[in-house]
Amino acid sequence: MPGHKRLMDFPNPYSVDITEIEGFDNLHHAEGIISRSQERAARLYGSVRAYYLINGSTCGILAAVSAAVPRGSSVLIARNCHKAVYHAIYLRELKADYIYPEYMESGIQGKIDPAQIESRLDENPSVKAVVITSPTYDGVVSDVAEIADAAHRHDAVLIVDEAHGAHFGFHPVFPENATRLGADAVIMSVHKTLPSFTQTALLHLCSERISTKEVEKFLRIYESSSPSYILMAGIERSLEMIEEDGKQLFENYVGNLKQFREKTAKLKHLRLIGQKNSKACDFDIGKILIETGGSMSGHELQQILRERYHLELEMAGVNYATAMTSIMDTKEGFDRLADALCEIDEKIIETGFNFTPRDIYGSMTKKMEIFEAEESNHTVVPLEKSEGRVCACYISLYPPGIPIIVPGEEIEAENIYNIQKCKKLGYEVDGVGKNIEVVK
């Protein structure tokens, strides 16, 4: 990220950095040029209404969750959601019921099972909103249509965090966009997988089930009152590009991805994850997940690629590393990565490294709601003595920003062991140093 890969032409930013002067509309009450641009975005994705966002998917998620249900209500959320979803839950004092993803064989978090959503909604009819992430940071797609049906049968809305899926629906190799699959609100970061500036995103409403008045109210609260015209122009520019040249750009991109997969098919130790299987309803092949196959940590692989090959990956998971690609990546870039992986693979010695996300993102016990834990009195204890305490903060690896522990959950011995192990392996664990904040 960002998906423009620093290869876009753009006017001098100062020349387009204006404010809401006559003729240039106002993002918070769009009626002119911004409104027309947003209508184009809705047409392109097949939604009922689209909003340009200049505070990232983060503010779209905050606004959609806040608008979907009244303060204090119950929501069902995938436990592998991004921290923005938890922040919305905190701000609106929501009661959160969690559903855990399935796990793929490599220990990577897989899809959310629609049957489980159905049965949890049967058990808890007060839930009026379901939130899932599809695709995940790892490119795993859930069955949005089935989940939307289950939610609607229970009179609940479905909000899809599609931050990593703004490119979905533009080529048959990529999954269909959640905007066309029955979700009620879909939030996508244009900056992640399309060629736009960091912080740009779209919020789509795809039905009348969530009030536009409420969404707009919350966008006014969560989003800057001085929206950047540079960022908005970036969204406009990338959507225009998709509309006008998308077919060709995606054909080239998919050609490069296919060639890359052919070139790396002979890897013996490293393994590219990314086939559809029973634990992933679909998969974004634009995400190149390189599993280290028992040889080293993802962090070590990331370092080798950076230091020896000058290739910067998106992130390192515990047993894999991820390269994020877009229509802007060049054939030369794909070839360099494929050659580097083949060379590294030749020299790999198996070490029996065996640590996966499944070890880290275990099932947690909720003792309090997030807002109750955040607003109670806190104290600080050494991490190694925190077993059994109720966590008062978020603990996560960043990226991907999925909390390992959220406020209100009980810290287990396994969490302490795994956090310490991550730190020893060189991963940054947000929210915890030698000490950890707990409920007093």
Q: Should residue 291 be labelled a site residue for ligand PLP when binding is judged by CB under 6 A?
A: no
User: Counting contacts by CB under 6 A, is residue 186 touching ligand PLP?
Assistant: no
Q: Specify the residue, 201 or 233, whose C-beta has the smaller distance to ligand PLP.
A: 201
- For ligand PLP, the closer of residues 166 and 285 by Cβ is 166
Which residues inside 104-163 make contact with ligand PLP, applying CB under 6 A?
Answer: 133, 137, 161, 163
In this structure, what is the dihedral angle of CA atoms 285, 286, 291, 297, given to the nearest 10 degrees? -160
Residue whose CB is less far from ligand PLP, 88 or 181: 88
Closest-approach residue to ligand PLP (CB): 56
Judged by CB under 6 A, the stretch of 50-58, 69-77, 114-122, 382-390 that binds ligand PLP is 50-58
Residue 38 DSSP class: H
CB contact set of 25 (below 8 Å; sequence gap of 6+):
31, 32, 33, 34, 35
Measured CA distances, 419 to 210, 256, 424 (Å): 39, 38, 9
User: How far are the Cα atoms of 33, 213, 366 from residue 36, in angstroms, in the given order?
Assistant: 5, 19, 45
Which residue in the set 234, 400, 407, 408 belongs to the binding site for ligand PLP (CB under 6 A)? 400
Tell which one of 38, 58, 66, 302 touches ligand PLP (CB under 6 A).
58
- For 418, half-sphere exposure in the C-beta direction (CA atoms, 13 angstrom radius) is 20
Kindly state whether residue 84 participates in binding ligand PLP, applying the rule CB under 6 A.
yes
Which of 203/290 has CB closer to ligand PLP? 203
How many whole angstroms separate alpha carbon 96 and alpha carbon 105?
Answer: 28
From CA 82, how far away is CA 58, in angstroms rounded? 9
Q: How far is the CB of 399 from ligand PLP (least distance, A)?
A: 6
Cis, peptide link before residue 135, omega less than 30° from 0? yes
**Cα–Cα distance, 166 to 203 (Å, whole number):** 11
Classify residue 214 as exposed, middle or buried by CB count within 10 Å of its CB (0-12, 13-18, 19+). Answer: middle
Chosen residue from 46, 294, 333, 401 binding ligand PLP by CB under 6 A: 401
Tokens encoding 269 = 């130790």
Distance CA 14, CA 217 (A): 30
Q: Which of 66, 142, 189, 386 binds ligand PLP (CB under 6 A)?
A: 189
Cα 427 to Cα 432: distance, rounded to the nearest angstrom: 12
In whole angstroms, the minimum distance from the beta carbon of 163 to ligand PLP comes to: 3
- Residue closer to ligand PLP, measured from CB, 54 or 233: 54
Site of tokens 């052919």: 262
CA–CA distance, 365 with 412 (Å, rounded to integer): 9
Q: Does 82 engage in binding with ligand PLP (CB under 6 A)?
A: yes
For residue 70, the minimal CB distance to ligand PLP (Å) is: 24
Angle value at C-alpha 324, between 322 and 329, nearest 5 degrees: 140
User: Of 189 and 292, which CB lies nearer to ligand PLP in the complex structure?
Assistant: 189
Site string for ligand PLP, 198-217 (x = CB under 6 A): ---x----------------
114: cis peptide before it, omega within 30°? no
The CB-side HSE value for 88 (13 A sphere, CA atoms) comes to 33
Question: Closest separation between CB of residue 400 and ligand PLP, Å?
Answer: 6
Nearer to ligand PLP, 136 or 256 (CB): 136
Q: Which two tokens stand for residue 264?
A: 């790396």
Q: Closest separation between CB of residue 56 and ligand PLP, Å?
A: 2
CB 190 within 8 A of CB 235: yes
Nearer to ligand PLP by C-beta: 99 or 416?
99
- Give the binding range for ligand PLP (CB under 6 A) out of 54-62, 86-94, 366-374, 381-389: 54-62
Nearer to ligand PLP, 161 or 184 (CB): 161
Phi/psi at 378 (5° precision): -115, 160
**Choice between 114 and 135, CB closer to ligand PLP:** 135
x/- contact string, 160-179, with ligand PLP (CB under 6 A)?
-x-xx---------------
The yes or no reply on residue 57 touching ligand PLP (CB under 6 A) is yes
Asked if 270 interacts with ligand PLP (CB under 6 A), we say no
Name the site residues for ligand PLP (rule: CB under 6 A): 56-58, 82, 84, 133, 137, 161, 163-164, 189, 201, 400-401
